[in-house]
Amino acid sequence: MEQQEIFEKLSMAIIEGDENKAKAFAHEVLRSKIDPLEAVEQGLSKGMIVLGDRFEKGEIFLPDLLIAGDAFNSAIDVLKPAMEALKKNIAKVGTVLIGTVNGDVHGIGKNIVGIVLEANGFEVVDIGVDKPSLKFVEEAEKVKADVIGLSSLMTTTMTAQKEVIDILKEMNLRKKYWVVIGGGPVTQEWADQIGADGYAGSAFQAVHLIKRLLGQKKIGA
Ligand code: B12
């Protein structure tokens, strides 16, 4: 099967919420020695985008998204060992604390960012979804993170990204961490507005962004 065809089949498996097909084509990715990360971005994630649009138009409902989420995660389970095997034998680049902000249970994108960062030599501490803003700061202090990554998939929860930055400022800790943000509705403009250090629209871009930031000295640190 051609690479493009496998990506389309993966995308369809997510749209249909078919866990068995999602797993089967994930295995096909491994058999065909296709880059598993590309299969996530070009296959699985594209299916999710289609579903998001249909959900917005009222053509499908929440249970459909839940089923698709399960199919997505089971394909990731198949691909994960191969993604981790990509981990280059490189010295630890830095520690990233990542989580989804308060009030938001979307975790798939954050998980992918975490896997891709790990494959690129970062230590990743994932605190999960729907985490209170103060928790991000407390955990970053505990694990001595270099970077705090905040995921938000909803316009209604984006404000929690600002809240984390505001807490860092109040506690005089803002200069200690790079803060990067991402998730569907998030933009560079929003990052600038709330004083985040950067925004990335995909897991690959997140790696480039964080590597670039860590190459810079934190002003005042
Ligand atoms: C799957 C899904 C769900 C699943 C989530 C399952 C799970 N385990 O995560 C479930 C069913 C739980 C769900 C629930 C809800 N959902 Co929903 N969901 C989606 C859907 C279809 C896909 C999200 C997804 O996983 N995408 C795939 C991943 C790979 O992409 P991604 O998350 O964008 O991540 C990439 C980048 O953004 C970036 N990135 C992500 N995080 C980060 C973090 C950092 C630091 C960086 C640098 C980069 C980065 O890298 C990732 C990888 O490339 C989206 C539609 C969409 N197209 O986004 C709606 C969507 C996000 N949901 C929506 C809504 C409204 C809801 C509900 C409120 C519905 C309801 N009525 O209850 C609830 C939310 C409950 C809550 N309190 O959070 C709306 C949000 C609208 C808004 N207000 O902005 C959307 C946009 C659908 C729509 N078009 O209306 N949902």
Q: Cα–Cα distances in Å, from 172 out to 58, 66, 76, 94, 183?
A: 45, 40, 39, 22, 26
Domains of the chain, with CATH numbers?
3-85 (1.10.1240.10), 94-214 (3.40.50.280)
Closest ligand 1 atom to residue 185 Cα is 84
Helix/strand/coil for 149 = strand
Specify the pLDDT at position 219: 53
Q: Could you report the per-residue pLDDT of 52-87, keeping only the tens digit for each?
A: 999 999 999 999 999 999 999 999 999 999 988 877
What pTM, to 2 d.p., does this model score? 0.94
Q: Which of 40, 65, 152 to mutate to test the pocket of ligand 1 (most atoms within 8 A of CB)?
A: 65
Closest ligand 1 atom to residue 183 Cα is 37
Q: Could you report the per-residue pLDDT of 176-205, keeping only the tens digit for each?
A: 999 999 999 999 999 999 999 999 999 989
